[in-house]
């Protein structure tokens, strides 16, 4: 009897075999990776440099709760592999400025860190030109994502409750062990479309 992991491997192998069979030899020779799309044409972090502004919308299950100005100030520093990564919330761009640093950890692996200059380091990873960070604070799970739509920089945060609201699975069905799956309540989504106001010479 195959275990659950073996079933997954067998399914993947079957799919790959069917794909190969459906392709001619000529098709296989000419297959090339296609990564340059509208969303992935900018190379992080240097092609993201500039001062980006827009309006942040905050939604919960009842709809739009708040709108406020937002900006991202992303500039080079004199230190190689370190960038200004300042997030500004609200009309007051001085009091509302969170002056962070973006640091390269392992660029070949898409690994960066946002240094909040208060002992907090947020690890983030670049995948298909999405800069994604997952972290947990004060009982909340936070997922942040920066990415491009055309020439606009999209910022999105999804906040969920840390404690699971439901746990299902964890049972034996037809001699197959089903893993336990936890579900979490999504509480807030924040999203902003940012437009570049200042382009730096490289």
CA dist., res. 72 & res. 94, Å (int): 13
Please count the CA atoms within 13 angstroms of the CA of 126 that sit on its side-chain side. 22
CA distances from 183 to 5, 140, 188 (A): 22, 14, 16
Give the 3-state secondary structure of residue 20: helix
Q: Please answer whether residues 200 and 75 qualify as being in contact, where contact means their C-beta atoms are separated by less than 8 angstroms.
A: yes
At 171-185, the pLDDT tens digits run 999 999 999 999 999
63 compared with 32, residue with greater pLDDT: 63
At 52-97, the pLDDT tens digits run 999 999 999 999 999 999 999 999 999 999 999 999 999 999 999 9
pTM value is 0.75
CA dist., res. 26 & res. 200, Å (int): 45
Beta-carbon contacts of residue 16 (< 8 Å; ≥ 6 apart)? none
């Amino acid at each position: 009897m195959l275990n659950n992991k073996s079933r997954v491997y067998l399914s993947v192998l079957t799919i790959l075999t069917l794909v190969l069979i459906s392709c001619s030899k000529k098709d296989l020779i000419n297959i090339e990776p296609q990564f340059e799309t509208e969303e992935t044409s900018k190379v992080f972090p240097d092609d993201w440099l500039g001062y980006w502004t827009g309006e942040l919308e905050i939604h919960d299950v009842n709809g739009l709760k708040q709108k406020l100005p937002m900006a991202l100030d992303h500039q080079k520093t004199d230190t190689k592999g370190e960038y200004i990564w300042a997030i500004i919330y609200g009309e007051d761009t001085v009091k509302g400025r969170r002056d962070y640093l973006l640091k390269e950890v392992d660029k070949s692996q898409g690994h960066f860190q946002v240094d909040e200059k208060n002992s907090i380091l947020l690890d983030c990873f670049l995948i298909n030109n999405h800069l994604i960070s997952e972290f947990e604070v004060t009982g909340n799970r936070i997922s942040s994502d920066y990415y491009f739509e055309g020439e606009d920089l999209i910022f999105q945060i999804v906040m969920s409750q840390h404690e699971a609201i439901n746990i299902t699975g964890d049972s034996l069905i037809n001699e197959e062990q089903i893993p336990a799956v936890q579900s979490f309540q999504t509480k807030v989504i924040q999203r902003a479309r940012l437009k570049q106001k200042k382009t730096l010479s490289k």
